[in-house]
Amino acid sequence: MNSFALYEPTSVAEASEILARHGDTARLYAGGTELLLAMKEGLIRYDYLVNVKTIPGLTGLRLDADGALRIGAATPHRALEREPAVRERFPLVARVESDVANVRVREVGTLGGNLCFAEPHSDPATLLQIFDARVRCETARGSREIALGELFVGSFETCLGEDELLTEIVVPPLPARSAAAYRKFGVLERPSVGVAVAVALDDGHVADARIAVGCVGPIPQRMPAAEALLRGRGVDEASANLGEAGRRAARAAEAVSDLHGAADYKEHLVGVLLRRAFDEALATLGAGPRR
């Protein structure tokens, strides 16, 4: 790992100014569980690392008045895995967070860091999109809030400006009578396909369907064309449409053939995992599959 100098700012504004001053020779550092690995491998080098853990207010989580989960960007995965508020109100988030890497990575690695590194096989980055999660991004000059899906521009690339910090992740609760499920499959270190589904039912109809697919495309993304095949349909019709919904999702992700599998195999897997996640969500709502 190359030698670097360390900044330890005590405010977001200070960190933002440091980033503006040094441009791409500086990088924000939280847990470093992905960044330091890349630096150790020699894939990337930075002259300056900017420690965000010394900025108060970026760690911790709470439920707000609307029941949304507000997570400081520098909160370790382990906190999301273990906090009672998350386990009770957002059990799927707690479960997926508990499956990130291993316990040592979860103790040190942060959700914000995971999202900002924008590795295409991230489970949280896929899952949180079905909650319509948002992220707060701040510079010395101001802040903005964007949909999580907008954060990811490409593999290892976010829309954050050079002097911009991700400071908070907001996860709204699902609508009433909703359930969510996450399924993934892979045999390599990272999964080959990840599918997140949230379903809201209203009198035997799919009032809302949210589908996110990760690992297959360069970024994890919501699949509106697939969702359209489920939303507003009766449960049986939506169920019957799952195969085609899976194909639409895989094509939208632009699967390529690589070590994780052939493109058509991934397309097939998206359909399978979509069906399983959908059925699991329905079962949670007490509206099991009827086939």
Partner 1 sequence: MKAVRELAITVRVNGERHELTVAPSELLIDCLRDRLGLLGVKKSCDVQVCGACTVLLDGRPVSACTVPAFETRGRTLRTIEGLADGEALHPVQEAFVEHGALQCGFCTPGMIMATVALLAENPSPTADEVKHYMRGNICRCTGYQRILEAILDAGRRLAAAPR
Partner 2 sequence: MKIEREVTIGAPRARVWDFLWDVPRLAACIPGASDVRAVEDGKRYAAVVADKVGPFRVKFPLEIVVLESQPPDHLRARAGGRDTMVDGLVKVDLDLALADAEGGTALRLAADIAVLGKLGTLGHSVIVRRGNDIVDRFTTAVRRALENEDAA
Q: Which does 33 bind (CB under 5 to 8 A by kind): partner 2, partner 1, none?
A: partner 1
| Cβ at position 98, least distance to partner 1 in Å | 7
Question: Which of 193, 230 has the CB closer to partner 2?
Answer: 193
- Length of the chain measured in residues: 291
**Dihedral angle sign, alpha carbons of residues 277, 282, 283, 288:** negative
Q: Which of 152, 148, 154 is nearest to 131 (CA)?
A: 148
SS3 207: strand
Q: Which does 157 bind (CB under 5 to 8 A by kind): partner 1, partner 2, none?
A: partner 2
Distance CA 98, CA 80 (A): 8
159, two tokens: 């829309």
What's the Rg (C-alpha) of the chain? Answer: 19
Question: Which of 157, 237 has the CB closer to partner 2?
Answer: 157
| Cβ at position 52, least distance to partner 1 in Å | 13
| Cβ at position 287, least distance to partner 2 in Å | 36
Asked if 52 and 13 count as a contact pair (C-beta separation under 8 A), the reply is no
- Contacts to partner 2 by CB under 8 A: 24, 27, 38, 41-45, 118-121, 154-157, 190, 215, 218, 256-260
Question: Which of 45, 141 has the CB closer to partner 2?
Answer: 45
Question: Which of 62, 104 has the CB closer to partner 1?
Answer: 104
Distance CA 66, CA 272 (A): 34
Is 215 exposed, middle or buried (CB count within 10 Å of its CB: 0-12, 13-18, 19+)? buried
Distance of CA 142 to the CA centre of its chain: 24
- Contacts to partner 1 by CB under 8 A: 1-9, 14, 18, 32-33, 36-37, 40, 48-49, 78, 98, 101-105, 107-108, 189
| Cβ at position 251, least distance to partner 2 in Å | 15
CB neighbours of residue 254 within 10 Å: 10
Question: Which of 41, 66 has the CB closer to partner 2?
Answer: 41
| Cβ at position 44, least distance to partner 2 in Å | 6
Q: Which does 107 bind (CB under 5 to 8 A by kind): partner 2, partner 1, none?
A: partner 1
